[in-house]
Chains A and B, each alone.
Chain A
Amino acid sequence: MTELQAEQAAVMPRIESQSQRSRYRDVLIALAAFAVLAILPMLTGSKALLDFVIRCSAFGLFATSLNLLVGFTGLVSFGHGMFFGLGAYGFGLIMQRSGLPVPVAFVATLVITTLIATVIGAICVRLKEIYFAFVTLAFQMLIHSTILSWVSLTGGDQGLRGGIPRPAFFGVDLSNHVHLYITSCALLVIGLLLMRQIAQSPFGYTLRMIRDNAIRASFIGIDVWRAKLTIFVLAALFASTGGIIMALFVSGAYPEFAYWTISGEGIFINMLGGVTTFLGPMVGTVLLLILNDTVTRLTEYYGIVLGIVILFFAIGLRKGLMDFVVEWYARRRNGSGE
């Protein structure tokens, strides 16, 4: 064993035991969060609020999975939205054409996503920085163009219309609004918990190392290409789940779901919420959706308002909200401790 490997072997169990301890805490937090979300329909009759949470689930899963790439691995993907669209279209098509039960269609969509993400990822993760961003963007637009031009399958620019059948399974009827809401929340909480486990696992720390210094990582024997591909595919799965929730919510799928602007919004959400904390993207999602809803109600010049808010974050704070809060808190605590 070389010295480096020995060092690595000594560090790994420490991370392992650390993550073991935080794992129980994470599960408890997740259960508590789910409980709060689950009793919400009993407290309020507001359909708009439940809709809001469902949309947050779809975009939150998408944005958080994007952050696994951007924040944790340093892979700035401009094409992550393709997996959101793929999830929506894959699930919608399977349900419309085959009449399979919902859970089977769900798993089948994830399998399809895995296959496509593996092929695209294998090509993309070879490239670095801005070239990675561009090639993911190109793949996204290629998928978008395919959706637009393959009219017989996808309905072209009209999207997948006619509604997605939602037969009941295990007593869950997704055409019931509350059932759909609870299912979305469950998918969100489970998805976040799984992603949290990935981020805190030794593999997650490997990703951070690749982000900080890929050359050093490869020197100590890490297969960088393989690690990047693995996280690319995993992130695609969660984005696809977000797309499935969206397809269920609107009972259809539209080409905009696979357009590059979805990826742009994902990046924006991450920058808004912050990329260094795990829950930053979730905060960003809630912020953006609230911003979207209020600004479109107040003014027709939505772009100017949103633009100024973005400028405030980019030039004013220079980081996302959660990053800012965490740093501010750390500074304050250190300051008072002196």
Chain B
Amino acid sequence: MDIDALTGCLASSACLVTQTTSGFIIGMLLFLVAVGLTLIFGVLKVVNFSHGAFYMFGAYFAMTAYQFTGSFALAMLCGAAGTALLGLIFERVFMSRVYGSDVLMQLLVCYAFVLIFDDVVRMIWGPEFKSMGMPAAFQVAPLFIAGGVVPPYYLLLIGVALVAAVVLGLGLARTRIGKVIRAAAHNPGMVSALGINTGLIYGGVFALGGMLAGLAGALAAPVRSLTPGMGFSVLIESFIVTVIGGMGSILGALIGAILIGMIRSFGSLGFPLFTEGLMYLFMVIVLVSRPTGLFGKEVA
């Protein structure tokens, strides 16, 4: 425990800005992963335990595309589109077979794919740590805000995540397809009786969730190292985010992600060894006081 470091940082504006930015980075990446998780749970009522693998694939797809084309935009696109496709196939071929059966069976299918996907990545890209490297466009001097260091790439990352949050929130609330998705979440039988293909919606939502996780992985690729199994810690953390925010709530995922990001960022100063413990402690406190999370509704 190092409370002095924490209070010292809180008193210095430079440190405050740096830590807050890094908290936002962690939070925004987590949000992109968690929002997919929460969306899939909200509509399909499936806890997608293999969601971290999509994050991992997003990062690897982006790295490979970047190595071949040298274009950052194409790398992001490949990361997102590749995982969307993967999500669609995974849902249609495997997950759709265990709907309505035991929750444990769904978890097992996901767990099986966590194991398989990690090994597939190991086979294709090798077991060692990889790095994509920062694109040339972002290799510029960092900004200084109140003495704190903020790399421009961080601003892009936060911007993309916020845009995704707004588009997703408005899309679900306002558009026709958004309404259909919400209706399918509420009463799939009725929606399918109206002549709407619910299988397509399920596949689409899974693909969308996979795409968001893949985008997060692609965005993280320049700043994190890539390794098989990298999806796992992200998965656990995004689980905490969704549970804190309330399963199925997009706003909850956003708030939860920022909270966890800040806990991680400032906790690492004050409690270097117990940072993870702080997150779990926070999760326990939230769950005990509000079992359905901060923004969750009681689902039947």
Contact = CB atoms under 8 A, between A and B. Distances in A.
Interface of A: 70, 76, 123, 126-131, 134-135, 137-139, 141-142, 145-146, 148-149, 151, 156, 260, 264, 267-268, 271, 301-304, 306-308, 310-311, 313-315, 318
Interface string B74-95: 0000000000000000000010
Contacts of A313: 108
Interface string B265-300: 000000101101100110110011001100000000
Contacts, number: 109
Nearest to B41: A130
Contacts of A141: 236, 276-277, 280
Given A306-B112, A307-B113, 12 more contacts: A123-B288, A126-B291, A130-B47, A135-B283, A139-B280, A141-B277, A145-B276, A148-B276, A149-B273, A268-B111, A271-B104, A310-B109
B69 interface: no
B40 to A, nearest CB: 13
A138 B242 CA distance: 13
A139 B122 contact: no
Contact of B116 (A134, A148, A307): A307
Nearest to B109: A314
Contact of B118 (A70, A135, A138, A303): A303
B260 to A, nearest CB: 13
B116 A303 contact: yes
Contacts of A70: 104
Contacts of A306: 112, 115
B101 A318 contact: yes
B115 A304 contact: yes
Given A130-B47, A135-B288, A314 B112 contact: yes
B97 interface: yes
A138 B287 contact: yes
Contact of A131 (B107, B123, B239, B291): B291
Given A145-B274, A304-B116, A318 B280 contact: no
A210 to B, nearest CB: 17
B115 A310 contact: yes
Nearest to B277: A145
A131 B103 contact: no
Given A76-B103, A130-B103, A311-B112, A303 B274 contact: no
A310 B114 CA distance: 11
A271 B108 contact: yes
Per DSSP, chain B at the interface is helix
A146 B276 CA distance: 9
Per DSSP, chain A at the interface is helix
B277 A149 contact: yes
18 contacts: A76-B103, A127-B287, A130-B103, A131-B287, A134-B287, A138-B240, A138-B287, A145-B276, A146-B274, A148-B277, A156-B273, A264-B111, A267-B104, A301-B119, A302-B115, A311-B109, A314-B105, A315-B97
Nearest to B47: A130
B120 A304 contact: yes
B39 interface: no
Contacts of A156: 273
Given A130-B247, A149-B274, A149-B277, A310 B111 contact: yes
A145 B280 CA distance: 9
Contact of B98 (A137, A302, A314): A314
Contacts of A308: 112, 116
Contacts of A131: 243, 287, 291-292
Contacts of A310: 108-109, 111-112, 115
Contacts of A311: 94, 109, 112
A134 B239 contact: yes
Contacts of B114: 307
Contacts of B292: 131
Contacts of B236: 141, 260
Interface in B240-276: 240, 243, 247, 271, 273-274, 276
Contacts of B111: 264, 268, 310
Nearest to A129: B103
A271 B114 CA distance: 17
Contact of A315 (B98, B104, B281, B287): B98
Contacts of A264: 111
For the complex of A and B, 10 pairs with smallest distance between CB atoms: A145-B277, A303-B115, A149-B273, A307-B116, A310-B112, A303-B119, A307-B115, A307-B112, A314-B108, A142-B280
Most buried by A among B115, B120, B236: B115
A311 B123 CA distance: 20
A131 B292 CA distance: 7
Nearest to B278: A145
Contacts of B123: 301
Interface in B13-33: none
A126 B111 CA distance: 27
A197 to B, nearest CB: 26
Interface in B196-245: 236, 239-240, 243
Contact of A142 (B104, B109, B281): B281
Contacts of A271: 104-105, 108
